[in-house]
Amino acid sequence: MLAKVIHITFDFLFPPACFGCKKRGTPICDECLGPLLAPPARCFFCLEAKTDKNICKRCLAHYGLDGIFWTLAYHDPLVKKLIASFKYGRKKYLAGRLGELLLRGLKKEQLDPLLVIPIPLHEKKEKVRGFNQAELLAREAGFDLQKFILKRVRDTPSQARILRRSERTEKIRGAFHVQDGKKVTGKNILLIDDVATTGSTLSEAARTLKKAGAGKVYGLVLAHG
């Protein structure tokens, strides 16, 4: 509680500067945000005509996810800088604004009641980083999380360094384990992560949850590209 009060006081006295225009007040102002928004227009996976919840029927049957939502275009250098500063630069003060933007991805989507699960890091990686960026974003977005249901049991290499979808799919296979199947049986789930490029991580997590008895599984990420 004290840490939160100190953080709020510090922000009041020394408001953060926009990563784009350097104007004081917020890490990314509304004016700079506009060009960074990425309204879905095609299927997330194959880039063909968009259908319901941003996945076409063919990919719906293949990738395990029943829908995926996002807010920002990851190919934009400013978006990459924001996320890298938060994720690797340990600038956790960015989580508030980024969590707000994460939530925009759902917009007016009507989803059934959901269990919300952040994509877990392997315990070694989380210990080095000091936090799980997906969990922090989700909390700042206001989600009530179920963080101990899904566990990362393999310390896989960073997906960002692997370009081909087939390689990413192979590297991430078997990376997750459902610790309590009773908690997911028949439940619809929303997976949270910071970035999705090929969707391999979300797909593997979705398949793992469905094998354990989950119903529909959706993905929500801050950025895609």
Q: What percent of the chain has pLDDT over 90?
A: 66
Whether 105 contacts 70, CB under 8 Å? yes
Q: What single DSSP character describes residue 157?
A: P
Question: Which pLDDT belongs to residue 57?
Answer: 87
- Report the predicted TM-score, pTM, of the whole model to 2 decimal places: 0.88
Extract the tokens encoding 112: 């059934």
Tally of CB atoms within 10 A around 53:
18
Model confidence at 163, in pLDDT bands (50, 70, 90)?
low
Extract the tokens encoding 78: 């400013």
Question: Which pLDDT belongs to residue 206?
Answer: 97
Extract the tokens encoding 121: 């890091």
* Partners of residue 42 on adjacent β-strands: 49
pLDDT digits (tens, 9 = 90+) for 28-84: 999 999 999 986 668 899 888 767 789 988 898 889 999 999 999 999 999 999 999
The answer on pLDDT for 5 being more than 70 is no
The answer on pLDDT for 222 being more than 90 is yes
Domains of the chain, earliest start first: 1-36 (no CATH), 37-224 (3.40.50)
Whether 56 contacts 50, CB under 8 Å? yes
